[in-house]
A = this chain, B = another copy of it.
């Protein structure tokens, strides 16, 4: 399957709000997930660890809306833009976040996902 075809399948799940399902189907067993932050969750390796981060995130945030746009393709990589409206349960703070996710494919699976947050 081409990068575009795989990207479109992943994006269809993301657009349907099925972020969790997209990961389960498309993360490689040794996927690397890179977030723009310091600390324990900045770089996670392996499907179980990345699934754990996802579970933590959903347990600790109330998602009001999440939209995904793309894919933007180059070679074995594609980018998706996200706009996410969430409330952090810990402090009740509501945030409108904008992100770019950059996905690197290998054998039709996501070998790496790297996220960029809109700042400034």
Report which of B4, B7, B116 forms a contact with A73, defined as CB distance below 8 A. B116
- Chain B nearest Cβ from A60, distance in angstroms: 21
Chain B residues whose C-beta falls within 8 Å of the C-beta of A81 in the assembled complex: 81, 100
Report which of B72, B99, B118 forms a contact with A116, defined as CB distance below 8 A. B72
Number of copies: 2
| A residues neighboring B (CB under 8 Å) | 4, 7-8, 34-36, 70-75, 77-79, 81, 98-100, 102, 114-120
Known: A79-B79, A100-B81, A102-B102. A74 touches B34 (CB 8 A): yes
Chain B residues whose C-beta falls within 8 Å of the C-beta of A75 in the assembled complex: 36
Q: How far is the CA of A70 from the CA of B73 in the complex (A)?
A: 18
Chain B residues whose C-beta falls within 8 Å of the C-beta of A73 in the assembled complex: 36, 116-119
Q: How far is the CA of A7 from the CA of B117 in the complex (A)?
A: 13
A and B contact pairs by CB, cutoff 8 A, 27 listed: A4-B119, A4-B120, A7-B120, A8-B120, A34-B74, A35-B74, A36-B74, A71-B118, A71-B119, A72-B98, A72-B100, A72-B116, A72-B117, A72-B118, A72-B119, A73-B118, A73-B119, A74-B114, A74-B116, A74-B117, A77-B116, A78-B116, A79-B79, A79-B100, A79-B102, A79-B116, A100-B100
